[in-house]
Structure 1
Amino acid sequence: MILPILRKFREFYAITFENQESLVHHWKEGAGIRVEASQLKRRLPILIIIPDHYFFFHFMPHLQGSKRKALRQAAQLQIGNLFPEPRTDERPVIIDTGKYILGCYPSLELNSLLKKHSHYFANAHGITTGLLLALEMLPLDSDTSWLLSTPGQPVTLINHNTLQYFSGDQREIDQRVNMLSHEYRLEKTTLNDLISQLSVSGRPWTGLQLSLPHFEKDNNLTGTVLKAALIILTTGLLFCAGQFFQLRAVQTEQKAWEQELQSLYVRALGPDHGSDPYGLLLFRANQTQNKSQGVNFIQLLGLISQHAPQGMNIENISMSTDTATITVNMDNYQQMEKLLEDLADSSVYRFTLDQADSVEGRINAVMSVSMPHS
């Protein structure tokens, strides 16, 4: 069964029943015309309205609870206490319209209706009753009661917390309505009026849905299996797609890191760094580390990096046994003076500013490094 209940429909087919025979009407913007079953177009949704006399409804307006799930559980307990011996072949259905919660017992005759018109029910977008449609569309309050008249069915009196059914000939019904008019402010409506309002409003069918689990069990087992298989397949495809895009992201990030690493190798060793730049870098570092005297490249680089201002670049380092020359680039003279002050505290090396020039808004500085005893 297809149930796009959150969508809004202003044009649809409404299927009603008289003496178990179906009546199909095409509704559009409040107007309905009778059509034959062969004229149904697949592009339009189908709303099935089952006559209320196929059900016994119990209104439960005084349930206590803050959450809908708790209210439905309370309704289940209440209807079980009120009707402790339900038929073994039918279970009560709890209907939550969003506004009201009702208990509902389907009649035995409902099965024959479902089987006779199974092709309609299997393709319906919504299944409801006249009462549920009235509860959704009518402005119910404590001052007004509504009389719902449907051909071939008892008249239903609906207000904000009670339901009453009037059967008999029209004279008897008129007498009872006249008596109630002294107690209630009565308004009248018909099933066609309610369908027309639904078509004009385009209201979603969320609050209209009537669950028919016994029908779905008998007639939609294949559909249920197919839906389950489709859900599993869709979940699997989404998982695989997620893994694919995650792998692509990791590969892109890995490529970016590899390019950055190659750039560092070129800056440290030059463009001709061989097939094992990491091994070559370790070899040169060990050579520098093993020198017993003179300027230690790793130590010197770490000292400058420790005090370097933000935005400073080391352009070049040339070394001899006991001295080194460093060319740096930074934003301004203040940064240069601060760097020299910080480096002057070093007990390992002596730093001397040889040259400082302003080039294109930045400062190029050349510093000499020597051992304290040299």
Structure 2
Amino acid sequence: MGTPLLPLLVVAVVVLVDVATGAGMPWLPLLAAGPALAAATNGPRGVVFVGLLAAALGTALGIGHAAPAREPAAVVSALLAVTAASCLASAMRGRRERVLAAVRSVAEAAQQALLQPVPETVGPFQVAVRYSAAAAEARIGGDLYALVPTPHGIRLIVGDVRGKGLPAVGTAALVLGVFREAAYDEPDLLTVVDRIERSLARNLGPDDFVTAVVAGYTGSGDLEIVNCGHAPPLLISAAGEIVTVEAARPAPPLGLRALSGQVPGLQRLPLAVGDQLLLYTDGVIEARDHAREFYPLAEGVARHASEEPARTLRALHDELLAHVGGRLHDDAALLLLRKRAEEGPVRAPSDPGTRLPTTASTARA
């Protein structure tokens, strides 16, 4: 892992202080700080090098101070013992780092399979996504998003699975799999939601559920929205006005319809050129600072809204991290659409093997 510069500097400082002050043996046990520090910054070879150098210098200084033989021997024995323990600690740290690197590699592969890149432009929209998992090394969590061009127009979903960890990731994978199939097969957006509901009813436990906003755009100028117990999207007009898009007919989260008997309703939202729609998960609006204050998302959007969705989300995400002190305690996802032009019906080819030309760009942190 390179030359152990800092541990060598510590050893050099101890030697210089001992020589300059002429204090004798009391300073020499501090040489053990060299190999101990090397265990945190270098591999076993670096630790051995620093430890042997410290032992040699300790012996030389002990002889130079004309100390009784037992004192330098005790110092050298202590240095060798610290060096041996530091070698073991360095080897264990290296093994943990290799395991972590393997876990990261698997997590990145899982993330690419589960949260596929979102097109930077699709139809009349510019699109940007920002995603952060609460478990930083896991890279994926219980929040989900997807945007797909289909024969029935553009379809997208943003959702939040109850719970965390691997069970939440499994539920997110189930929802996304059903959504991608249903979005392509079903001409009606409510039928897409129904298929997700039926799949979750068969596979989830009685206390599990998923909040989600499912939306579709067919080129008519209106965005169809179905809100299933999720945080309401924010509409940012071309003039900069921010409006909360409350559900016209409140509906329970996906997986709980059988308990409430309520069914979701389809809401149509007119979009003009320059209008933007921000979808997000609870991890954004429930993020707290040291004073336990929630992050004011609408105010943040007002400060950072621009004509470039990627730049807007980057600024929002940086501000969100600053609000919580650098570490989120819940998964957080943001998806921003901006209508850049009027366009006719946006549809994918009927052959699933043919893809629309898009430019992929998805940001994660």
Shorter-chain TM-score bucket reads under 0.3
Q: TM-score, normalised by structure 1?
A: 0.25
Higher radius of gyration, 1 or 2:
1
Higher RCO structure (Cα 8 Å, ≥6 apart): 2
